[in-house]
Structure 1
């Protein structure tokens, strides 16, 4: 058994062969070196396992499910497989900036009162081109209490913190909070960040340290209406929580701005689809020539 690393980066993989190699390289290229990379292959039917086997790095540990688990169950299992006290989950089509771990591990190790460190991220398309740069964390930079974050989330009407790739958290807090929830499948990340913030404070970083890919077949793109509904119900739950002390004015603003948050998501999906169709036409024209 290798010595325990400081950080576990984990990638749950299901039919991810198209972007997986780029994602793995973005992890292995980190300037911070004391990490393990745990790859959990969820009984894919494509060539994901062949992509994984093409990498030879002692920091990589590969596990495989005998049968395909649901996304929440698979994400919970990949965290269970991690050995380090600090965790970063990266989806199999997203990317990390080379300094992501370097800039996020330091604050977590220096301040045991931090439960979540989050950075801004780029929104990218299927060709890894930036659709929207430096997205997220509006009004959430610096150290914030859970109450401050909850009020901002409610007012935002969407997810101002961002997806898993831009966030670092503590393994013990994750299990204390109960893990990823199957009844929050479409907003699992946001739901988890708020539950983690019952164990410590939040640090929002101004740097852009991750990239979230919006593809034609992504869960977000295919479930936009359901995401909107889950987000709305989650906002109302936060408003009823005695811990987070969300005010009536926060809820009123959130209800008013929720359609705008939905419109922003729809615009991102539309841009990604347009870019993908344009790329398909270009490729077809090149073949015809």
Structure 2
């Protein structure tokens, strides 16, 4: 057993063969080196396990589910398998900037009062081309209280903090908060970020340190309506909680702006589909009969 690392980067994998190698390489290329990668293979039927085993690095630890778990159960299990006090979950098709851990670990180690450190991210297509650069954290840069973050999230009507790849959090807080919630499957990340902020403050970094892939077969692309409904429920839940002190004006703005957030997501999915079809047509034209 290797010494306990400072950070666990966990990657839950289910049929992720298309982008998995690129994702793993983006983690291994970090300038900050004191981390482990926990890869939890969720009974995939493709070549995911072979791809995982093609990497020979002592920081990689491979675990496998004997039977297929639901996404919330799988994500909870991969955190349970982590050994470090700081956690980052990276989906098997997303990417990290080489300095992601370097920029995020320092503030967390320097300030025990921080519960969540988040960075901006690029939105990329299936060829890793940037669709929308430097997205997220509007009005959330610097240190923010849970009340400030909750009010901003409600007013935004979507997810201004971002997906797991752009966020670093504490393992102890994760379990104290109850982990990923199955009844919020399509906003599990945003729901967790808000619950973690009951244990400390939020830090938003101005740097772009991750990339979220908009792919045709991704959970986000295939469940856009469910994402919209879950976000609406979360907004109302935050509004009813006395802890977050969400005001009536915040709720009113969130209800109005939620459809705009949905339209932005739909536009991103459409651009990604267009780029993928264009790429396929180009490859077909180049290949000999």
TM-score (normalizing by structure 2) = 0.99
Q: Which residue matches 2:40?
A: 40
Q: Distance in 1 between matches of 2:172 and 2:288?
A: 56
Q: Secondary structure at the match of 1:206?
A: strand
Distance 2:288 2:217 in 1: 26
How many equivalent pairs are there?
289
CA distance in 1, matches of 2:201, 2:282: 48
1:126 maps to what in 2? 126
Aligned to 1:145: 145
State the 1:252 CA deviation: 0.5
Q: Does 1:2 align with 2:2?
A: yes
What CA distance in whole angstroms lies between the structure 1 residues aligned with 2:237 and 2:72?
20
Equivalent position of 1:220 in the other structure: 220
The structural deviation recorded for 1:288 is: 3.6
Q: CA deviation at 1:45?
A: 0.2
1:282 and 2:277 aligned: no
The equivalent residue for 1:81 is: 81
Secondary structure at the aligned position of 2:212 is classed as strand
2:112 is matched with 112
Does residue 159 of the first structure (1) align with residue 159 of the second (2)? yes
Q: Secondary structure at the match of 2:123?
A: strand
C-alpha distance in 1 between matches for 2:269 and 2:12: 23
Q: Partner of 1:17: helix, strand, or coil?
A: coil
Stretches of structure 1 lacking an aligned partner (at least 5 in a row)? none
* Displaced runs of 4 or more, over 6 A: none
Aligned residue in 1 for 2:96: 96
Shift of 1:287: 1.1
| 3-state SS, counterpart of residue 24 of structure 2 | helix
- How far residue 182 of structure 1 moved from its aligned partner, in angstroms, is 0.5
Aligned to 2:181: 181
1:168-210, CA deviations, whole angstroms, 9 ceiling, x for partnerless residues? 0000000000010111110000000000000000000000000
RMSD of aligned C-alpha atoms? 0.6
